[in-house]
Amino acid sequence: MHDRATGGACPPDSLTPPGPRREPGLLRLGRQEFAPGRLLVMAIVNRTPDSFYRPGITWDARAALERVHTVVAEGADIVDIGGVPAKPGTEVTVDEEIQRTVPFIEAVRDAYPDLVISVDTWRNEVGRAACTAGADLLNDTWSGWDPKLAEVAAESGAGLVCSHAGGLQPRTRVFRAAYSDVMADVLDRTLSLAQRALRAGVGPSRILIDPAHDFGKNTWHSLEISRRLGEMTATGWPVLVSVSNKDFVGETLGAGVEDRLAGTLAVTSVAAWLGARVFRAHHVEQTRQALDMVAAVKGDFQPARILKGLV
């Protein structure tokens, strides 16, 4: 089967390799299939030591599993498990990262056989161990820094997030980033990674693209990619956005990290309106409600209960 890959609004071109056909609009993650129009919440579950209490593995894991129960009940479609912070700090080795995430992934998979599990990592060794433990999606926010990660996704039958980070090394901060056209740069990078993933054998319907707000971009750049997100969704690749509590929200509103929910929901709603499909969030219940509201306005969502004016 070597049809030219087409996908939704993505026009065939000389760069599109022959291969399995992408079903237009369909997003496959794990055992699930998500039709276009479904707006998915990816719940953030951190497996990093919390400075508030002593890092005791059992305590930590129990609390984290509780969080998984909570977010599933709140409507999360995907649980995103990460063991390394995005910001600079004490080095976390591959082994340590595996320790933090893989046993936990096994526990979540045990509890939820069909839940979509993603692992927030950029490293192929971690990705491989995570997929063996049951992960369905490799959420790489560092723009393919490790080229082997795509191969791991392909071999495991997992999905892959293709992101843009402005060339930054993992766990470094943006420093005077300048772009003649940031959106063009984002498109160029994410689409290249998506094509590369296709060629490596990642399932065509299992690839997402993510502009990665604030990664290698200042607040102005993150606002611009939010404004022009329609250019990403128009490619036909499913778009993931991760805007929850981010600094561009805080800098825009002058809000500390505890105070960014309203701003987060606002840009979430804009992204949903412009066609994004997956929304990585801390506040699952509120994000679920905001997305359902946007979907209802679009006409994609069955309202819960309508009586007013009809009785």
Site residues for another protein per CB under 8 A: 88-89, 172-182, 218, 220-221, 223-224, 251, 254
Judge whether 206 and 28 are in contact, CB under 8 Å. Answer: yes
Q: Is 280 a catalytic residue?
A: yes
Of 206, 246, 260, 288, which one is the catalytic site residue? 246
**Distance in Å, CB of 217 to another protein, minimum:** 10
Closest-CA residue to 125 (of 80, 95, 100, 145): 95
The answer to whether 30 and 116 are in contact (CB under 8 A) is: yes
Q: How far is the CB of 266 from another protein (least distance, A)?
A: 16
- With respect to another protein, which residue has the nearer C-beta, 2 or 176? 176
Active site residue 298: no
Quote the CA–CA distance of 118 and 109 in Å, as a whole number: 11
CB of 251 to another protein, least distance (A): 7
Q: CB of 130 within 8 A of CB of 100?
A: no
CB nearer another protein, residue 136 or residue 224: 224
Q: Which residue lies nearer to another protein by CB, 225 or 271?
A: 225
Query: CB 88 → another protein: shortest distance, Å?
Result: 4
**What is the smallest separation between the CB atom of 155 and another protein, expressed in angstroms?**
34
Q: Which residue's CB is nearer to another protein, number 30 or number 166? A: 166
**Catalytic residue (choose from 47, 217, 280, 288):** 280
CA 214, CA 100: separation in Å to the nearest integer?
25
- Are 104 and 61 in contact, with CB atoms under 8 Å apart? yes
DSSP state of 292: H
Kindly write down the DSSP assignment for every residue of 149-198, as one continuous string.
Answer: HHHHHHHHT-EEEEE--TTPPTT----S---S-HHHHHHHHHHHHHHHHH
Q: Which is nearer to another protein, 52 or 175 (CB)?
A: 175
* Rounded distance between C-alpha atoms, residue 84 and residue 126, angstroms: 11
Nearest to 147 by CA among 124, 164, 130: 124
Candidates 76, 127, 77; CA nearest to 101 is 127
Q: How many Cβ atoms are within 10 Å of 229's Cβ, its own excluded?
A: 23
User: 21: which DSSP letter?
Assistant: P
Burial status of residue 271 (CB atoms within 10 A of its CB: 0-12, 13-18, 19 or more): buried
Q: Can you say how many angstroms the Cα of residue 143 is from the centroid of all Cα atoms in its chain?
A: 12
Give the shortest CB-285-to-another protein separation in angstroms: 31
Helix ranges (DSSP H) in 77-165: 94-111, 124-133, 148-156
Closer residue to another protein (CB): 59 or 220: 220
Q: Any idea which residues carry the catalytic annotation?
A: 246, 280
